[in-house]
């Protein structure tokens, strides 16, 4: 399989001098996770060579992957270091990591005395990725039950401040958050928004904000003759893979991380 052409430098994450981040947009496309047994033979080769690792293999074709395990428990620093080594051949590659669910789904626990200890556990793994310039975004993914109220707005603001030194992306799913006030909160905090096609809220963005769209495809139909051929085509043309996102027999979740690109779903 042909290797991705290597590039010499990572893209800058700084806005241009005019302050218009959309003028220097960067679009990264990648899957949400890599540990899927039913990808064998479709995404991954059936016969895996010695030293094969899913993240390293996907990094030949994609410039980002969403880390799911950090949602269920803090990312272990040793694991983060290993994954950095796995994707070393792609200098453009960055990870998107979900924030531990303790901060998004367990508000009572977060407001207790254990918050500082939980924060230290989260930062231990994230800081390894950041130090290697491999942390593209930290996704704060709140549940549909997280409605917009004065209390939840205050809580969201507090979590944003707690992790403000990371490149943050917020996903709020309930329609009550679909308001100019929500966008202003994120914009004033320097936080990106995530708009996912999950059946929940649809967030209308402005042309000057950063975006993080997420797609999920579950349609069952005839699988392609070779998913790996589709990956090769993707390396040349994003539309080649886009057509296949809705055709495999497996569930393929893709996170499109446009860390420095405007996105509008209006």
> Over 50: is that where the pLDDT of 191 sits?
yes
Residue 24: pLDDT band with limits 50, 70, 90: low
Residue 79 has pLDDT above 90, yes or no: yes
Q: What number of residues does the chain have?
A: 266
Q: Which of 50-54, 57-61, 257-261 has the lowest mean pLDDT?
A: 257-261
Q: Are 144 and 176 in contact (CB under 8 A)?
A: no
Secondary structure (DSSP) of 177-193: G-SHHHHHHHHHHT-EE
Question: For the domain that residue 124 is a member of, what is the CATH number?
Answer: 3.20.20.410
Answer yes or no: is 243 within a domain: yes
117, part of any domain: yes
In the chain, the number of structural domains is: 1
Q: Is there a domain that residue 113 lies in?
A: yes
CA quadruple 185, 191, 197, 201: dihedral, nearest 10: -10
6 within some domain: no
Is 57 inside a domain boundary? yes
Average pLDDT for the chain: 74
Compute φ and ψ for 30, nearest 5 degrees: -165, 165
Give exposure, 218-242, as e/b (b: 16+ Cβ within 10 Å).
Answer: eeeeeebeebbebbebbbeeeeebe
Query: Any idea which residue has 């997420």 for tokens?
Result: 214
Cβ count within 10 A of residue 5: 7
| Cα 170 from Cα 249, distance rounded (Å) | 30
130-183, pLDDT tens digit by residue?
A: 999 999 999 999 999 999 999 999 999 999 999 999 999 999 989 999 999 999
Structural domain includes residue 226: yes
Single out the residue of 130, 189, 129 nearest to residue 162, CA to CA.
Answer: 189
Report helix, strand or coil for 98: strand
Q: Are 255 and 6 in contact (CB under 8 A)?
A: no
Q: What local confidence, expressed as pLDDT, does residue 27 receive? A: 82
- For 197, other C-beta atoms within 10 Å of its C-beta total 12
Domain that holds residue 224: 21-262
The C-alpha atoms of residue 59 and residue 54 are separated, in whole angstroms, by: 9
Structure-token match 């040349």, residue found: 236
For residue 170, being part of any structural domain is answered with: yes
Q: How far apart are CA 6 and CA 263, in angstroms?
A: 27
Confirm whether 83 is domain-assigned: yes
* pLDDT tens profile 206-240: 333 445 555 544 333 334 444 445 555 544 544 44
- Spatial separation of the C-alpha atoms in residues 46 and 44, rounded to whole Å: 6
Q: The whole model's pTM is what?
A: 0.70
């Amino acid at each position: 399989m042909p290797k991705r052409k290597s590039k010499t430098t990572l893209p800058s994450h700084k806005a241009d001098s005019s302050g218009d981040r959309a003028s220097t947009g960067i679009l990264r496309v990648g899957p949400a996770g890599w540990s899927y047994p039913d990808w064998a033979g479709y995404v991954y080769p059936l016969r895996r060579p010695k030293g094969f690792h899913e993240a390293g293999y996907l990094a030949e074709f994609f410039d980002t992957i969403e880390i799911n395990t950090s949602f269920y428990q803090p990312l272990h620093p040793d694991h983060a270091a290993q994954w950095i080594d796995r994707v070393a051949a792609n200098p453009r590659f960055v990870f998107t990591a979900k924030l531990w669910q303790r901060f998004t789904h367990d508000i009572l626990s977060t407001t207790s005395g254990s918050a500082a200890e939980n924060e230290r556990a989260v930062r231990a793994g994230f800081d390894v990725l950041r130090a290697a310039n491999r942390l593209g975004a930290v996704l704060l993914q709140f549940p549909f039950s997280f409605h917009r109220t004065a209390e939840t707005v205050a809580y969201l603001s507090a979590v944003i401040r707690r992790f403000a030194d990371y490149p943050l992306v917020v996903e709020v799913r309930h329609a009550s958050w679909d308001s100019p006030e929500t966008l202003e909160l994120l914009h004033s905090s320097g936080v990106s928004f995530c708009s996912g096609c999950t059946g929940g809220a649809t967030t209308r963005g402005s042309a000057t904000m950063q975006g993080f769209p997420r797609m999920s495809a579950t349609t069952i139909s005839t699988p392609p003759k070779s998913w790996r051929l589709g990956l090769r085509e993707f390396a040349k043309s994003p539309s080649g893979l886009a057509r296949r996102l809705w055709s495999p027999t497996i569930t393929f979740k893709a996170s499109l991380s446009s860390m420095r690109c405007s996105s509008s779903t209006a």
